[in-house]
C-alpha cells in the first residue's frame, strides 16, 4: 500500500522525501514502513531531494520569476534542508535574478500613465516594487530595478516635460 501511494504521488509530479512522508502519514501508514519504502525509493533514485530542489528552482524562477528568498522559503516548506536548497539556488546568479525582475517590471509597466508626472511615477514605483516584494525580491533591489526600468521607459523622473517638445 505505501509503495502504491508513493508511486501515485510521483506520477503526478516530483516530490521531496518530506512531502511523501507527510502523504504516507496522512494515509496512516506506520512510520517504520513509510521510512523503509522511502529509503528504497531513494536507493533507486526515484526520490532525490537535490534533483527535486534543482528542478524546483529552475521551474519556479523561469515561470514565476521568483527571487532566491522566495524560492528558499518554498524549498523549506517542501522539506528541503538548507544546504541542499543553497546548492540548488547557486544555479541562479544575481544577474539572472535582476533580469527576471526587470522582465516582470517591463511586463507590468505596459499601459502605465505619464511617467514624467511625479505623482504617477511614485504610484507606479510603489505598485511595481510591491509586486517584486511579493515575489521575494529585497526592497532595495526592487526599488533599484523599478527605478532603472522607469528611467529607461519614460525618462528621468525630474525631466521637464517642456524639454521634449
- If you average pLDDT over residues 12-36, what whole number do you get? 95
Q: pLDDT value at position 46?
A: 94
- pLDDT on residue 97: 93
Write the pLDDT tens digit of every residue in 45-64: 999 999 999 999 999 999 99
The DSSP 8-state label assigned to residue 115 in this structure reads T
pLDDT, position 105: 94
pLDDT in tens, 89-129: 999 999 999 999 999 999 998 766 777 888 888 999 999 99
Residue 64 DSSP symbol: S
From residue 100, alpha-carbon distances to 52, 71, 103 in Å are: 22, 14, 5
- Per-residue model confidence (pLDDT) at position 39: 97
Reply yes or no on whether the pLDDT at 156 is more than 70. no
Looking at the predicted structure, is the pLDDT value of residue 165 above 50? no
Per-residue confidence (pLDDT) for residue 26, from 0 to 100: 96
For 38-47, the pLDDT digits (tens) are 999 999 999 9
d(CA 81, CA 43): 19
Helix and strand numbers (H, E) in the chain are 9, 0
For 127, the enclosing helix (H) or strand (E) is helix 118-134
* Per-residue pLDDT, 134: 94
Measure Cα distances from 156 to 8, 36, 161 in Å.
55, 62, 10
In this prediction, residues 70-93 reach a mean pLDDT of 96
CA–CA separation, 91 vs 14, rounded Å? 19
Burial of 107 (0-12, 13-18, 19+ CB in 10 A): exposed
Give the other-Cβ count within 10 Å of 157's Cβ.
16
**Residue among 1, 42, 5 nearest 22 (CA):** 5
Tell me the pTM. 0.81
Closest CA to 27 of 8, 47, 5: 5
Amino acid at each position: 500500500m505505501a509503495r502504491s501511494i508513493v508511486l501515485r504521488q510521483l506520477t503526478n509530479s516530483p516530490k521531496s522525501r518530506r512531502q511523501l512522508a507527510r502523504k504516507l502519514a496522512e494515509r496512516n501508514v506506520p512510520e517504520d514502513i513509510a521510512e523503509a519504502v522511502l529509503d528504497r525509493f531513494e536507493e533507486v533514485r526515484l526520490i532525490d531531494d537535490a534533483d527535486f530542489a534543482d528542478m524546483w528552482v529552475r521551474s519556479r524562477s523561469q515561470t514565476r520569476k521568483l527571487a532566491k528568498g522566495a524560492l528558499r522559503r518554498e524549498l523549506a516548506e517542501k522539506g528541503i534542508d538548507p544546504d541542499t536548497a543553497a546548492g540548488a539556488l547557486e544555479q541562479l546568479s544575481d544577474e539572472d535574478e535582476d533580469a527576471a525582475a526587470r522582465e516582470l517590471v517591463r511586463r507590468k509597466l505596459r499601459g502605465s500613465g505619464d511617467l514624467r508626472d511625479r505623482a504617477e511615477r511614485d504610484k507606479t514605483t510603489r505598485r511595481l516594487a510591491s509586486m517584486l516584494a511579493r515575489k521575494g525580491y529585497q526592497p532595495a533591489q526592487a526599488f533599484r530595478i523599478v527605478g532603472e526600468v522607469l528611467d529607461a521607459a519614460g525618462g528621468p523622473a525630474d525631466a521637464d516635460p517642456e524639454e521634449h517638445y
